[in-house]
Amino acid sequence: MPPVTIQIPSIILPTVWTLGTEREVIDDLVVHTSIEFSVEYLQEKSIHILAIEAVAAGVPGNLWCWVELSPYPTTITGAYWAAIGGGGGVLPPVVPLIEVATGVNLAVHGITIPWDIHSTWARVVVQTPVAAGLPLAFWAVQCQVSAKTP
């Protein structure tokens, strides 16, 4: 019998939250990959991303977000991760969700990525492919996964 899950715990790239206030700073040309989480028995899955601009001067680079799926966790193989929207693995998706920075300090951006594709494992990927203004302008990001059980 599948576990009864109404909402998977929040994930902060790349670790699990403990206080609920943790954020990861993103604006450094690095692909930030969350911990992988099981979605095998979940339906109507969504990733909810809260991205806040932290701007002392300049504008952070645009935020690219996507979800990657795999039938195997990375403890078995890191070779198969297909991105929703195309691409996969070390390649970004063909069409990532792109959140455009405004350059306004503490501007809040709410991003939702829903998906119905069945998979056993998923992970969230967030990237700023252009470092614009680091260390004076960056994103503070939190991610939360929600879903229904059958």
pLDDT score recorded for residue 80: 75
Say what the alpha-carbon torsion angle 13, 18, 22, 24 is, to the nearest 10 degrees. -20
pLDDT score recorded for residue 99: 93
Could you list the beta-strand ranges (E) of the chain.
11-12, 15-16, 24-26, 31-33, 37-38, 43-55, 63-70, 82-83, 97-99, 108-115, 121-127, 137-148
Along the chain (150 residues), what's the average pLDDT of each consecutive run of 10 residues? 44 57 69 83 90 89 88 77 63 77 94 88 84 79 85
**Is 111 within 8 Å of 97 (Cβ atoms)?**
yes
**Is 124 within 8 Å of 11 (Cβ atoms)?**
yes
